[in-house]
Amino acid sequence: MTLSSPVEKSFRLKASHYVWLALFVFVLFLPGRATLPPLDRDEARYMQATSQMIESHNYIDVRFQDKPRYLQPAGIYWLEAIAVKAAKATGMVKGKAAWAYRIPSLLAAVGSVLLTVWIGSILFDSYIGLLAGLFLAVSVLLTGEGRMATIDTNLLFAVLLAQSSLARAWMARLTTEKLSVSVAIIYWGAIGCGLMLKGPVMLIPTLLPPIILAWVKKDRSWWKHLHPKWGWILMLLIVIPWCAAIWVISDGKFFTDAVGTNLLSKVASGKESHGAPPGLYLGIFLITFWPGSLFTAWALPYIWRERKSESVCFLLCWIIPHWIVFELVKTKLPHYVLPTYPAIAILTSMALWNISKTWDGPTSRWGRWLLRIYMVLWVAVGLLLAVGGIIYAYYMTGTWFWAAMLGAAAALILIGYAVVCILKYNMQRASLVSIGAAIVIYLELFVILIPGLSSEWLSGKIAETVNLLKPCENSIVASASYSEPSLVFLVGKETKLINAEKTAQFLKDNQSCGLGLVDQRDEKKFMQSIDNEGLTVKEIGRIHGLNYSNGKQLSLGLFEVIQ
């Protein structure tokens, strides 16, 4: 059997299999969702903007405090608002519960794994699709992104919806199958939804692959299955209503900010200290796709050998253009290449199932040595993931989490066994064992360590202190030394993120109910400003903690004016 012809399906997953898989992935991504506090800085901004959208009933003009948030369309905020309202309707949410804002990412993570399995089944076999779905589910990048109330897991789901239709159209060219018009509706509808999530970025993983495929294979006949004559109209119908509304409300400023200031500036320069040279994504792939990264490295020569086959060519035309574009973009964040990971997982799984039955990894001496070096680094990443959280928890709390240590020991044993399997060239078993090790590590982190650290998160400690000591029900906090968005989310929309001098001025204007939050390093300047304003203040509380966003230890005093 060759890969240039349609792959014979030896096994096909039934609907019941997908249901059980969905339940498994749901349970895998559930731990940590409620105990993980709002993460600075992006997630907290999304949460706060969504909270303000719900409070104001303004579902067009997205804002963080009193400033427009013109970075991307409103799609993600709508999804989070629906999730929060549904959670509140059930009576499960009181106040601002971070987990409710993360529901869309949870569902998108589950859906993305299922779609990866489905696409793998379309292109190859359900066994390959299933292993690919597991690789994606336990990858470090999706494990992190899937637990945050941000865009990228939802964008991944939209991309995979479009790619599933693209894969069906591509494989249909090898048969006489006539595809239902629903395939085209899903393709163009998914692109429209993706545009509402992240704007033109959605076009890179969904329109570049068919263009590259048509150029590589000199064949555009399969494109008719997706009905491009009217499909683009469906895509625009999803996007235009909101675009017209925000154009009117913002007087066009949304588009100059979102496209000109945000999108194009990221291409030309490293925005928000996230600049990096080309090659970063390749360099961090070992970590972000762990544990699958080692098996991808092992499979690369085989994948290249099969590059002309229909299914492999499709996946390479999905991965390579997207990867090159974002390696060239100056601003780099790990999740920018997340839409390529399902395709990488499928290619890796294809090699592991060894369709040709003739592949044992790199054959040259230097190739095998490179793989061994990569394996050492892979083990080091596993060691860091298994024990790093335990060491950090001890640093923060002075307590050893013995249950987590048992989990780490189990994970390290599994990683060691996976290495033994690799050295014996039993790659299938090694991949399954490494997936098991990743699951154990994530349970250790999200079931034991993170709940144990929840009381140490600085914004949460500040919110608890303010709620306990505030002089008025509607007291407003002016923070001179700690300006993380999570503080706004937990303490209130009116929270002031200002400097020491302006904090003193704020207290002068709000003597009865105002509170000032000042780190000990800024207290001298703050007190001088207080004296200049002719005020006397007293410290009513002090909060110690680590601002993990910049690594600074803070000792924050909470001050009120003495009447």
Mean pLDDT, contiguous 10-residue spans, the chain (563 residues): 47 88 96 86 94 96 93 96 94 86 97 98 93 97 95 98 96 86 97 96 96 91 92 97 96 86 63 72 96 94 90 96 94 94 97 67 78 94 95 86 95 96 89 97 93 83 94 94 93 94 95 95 94 93 84 90 87
Task: Output the pLDDT for position 361.
Answer: 65
Q: What pLDDT is stored for residue 331 in this prediction? A: 87
CA contacts within 13 A on the Cβ side of 183: 21
User: Do 416 and 487 sit in the same domain of this protein?
Assistant: no
What pLDDT is recorded for position 435? 98
Of 5, 117, 95, nearest to 47 by C-alpha is 95
Whether residues 322 and 224 share a domain: the answer is: yes
The residue written with tokens 């395939």 in the block is: 183
Residue where a domain terminates, one of 455, 490, 522? 455
Question: Are residue 344 and residue 369 in the same domain, yes or no?
Answer: no
User: Is 305 found in the same domain as 257?
Assistant: yes
Sheet hosting strand 537-547, strand order edge to edge: 496-497, 477-479, 515-519, 552-561, 537-547
Distance separating alpha carbons of residues 52 and 71, to the nearest angstrom: 16
Residues contacting 322, CB < 8 A, separation 6+: 204, 205, 208, 337, 339, 340
* 20: in domain: no
User: Do the strands 552-561 and 537-547 form a parallel or antiparallel pair, or are they unpaired?
Assistant: antiparallel
The answer on 40 and 91 residing in a single domain is yes
Domain that holds residue 128: 30-265+281-353
- For residue 1, is it within any domain? no
Residue of 155, 233, 154, 241 whose CA lies nearest to 188: 233
Q: Classify the C-alpha dihedral 173-175-178-184 as positive or negative.
A: negative
Based on the domain organization, do 485 and 548 belong to the same domain? Answer: yes
358 within domain boundaries: no
468 and 372: one domain? no
Whole-prediction pTM: 0.93
- Per-residue model confidence (pLDDT) at position 3: 47
197 inside domain: yes
Shared-domain flag, residues 165 and 186: yes
Domain termination site, one of 413, 440, 455: 455
State the virtual CA torsion across 161, 162, 167, 168 in degrees, nearest 10: 80
The residues near 397 (Cβ < 8 Å, ≥ 6 apart) are 452, 453, 456
Q: Which of 426, 455, 484 is the last residue of a domain?
A: 455
Q: What is the pLDDT of residue 446?
A: 93
- Asked, for residue 25, whether it belongs to a domain, the answer is no
The residues, any chain, with a CB within 8 Å of residue 34's CB and separated by 6 or more, are 97, 98, 99
Q: Is residue 17 part of a domain?
A: no
491 and 544 within one domain:
yes
The domain spanning residue 541 has which CATH number? 3.40.190.10
Extract the tokens encoding 455.
Answer: 């009381």
11 part of a folded domain: no
Which residue in the block uniquely carries the two structure tokens 């996976």?
418
Clarify whether residues 336 and 426 are in a common domain.
no
The DSSP annotation for 342-363 comes to: HHHHHHHHHHHHTTTS---S--
Residues 342 and 441 in one domain: no
Count of domains for the chain: 3
* Residue 141 forms part of a structural domain: yes
Residues 138 and 247 in one domain: yes
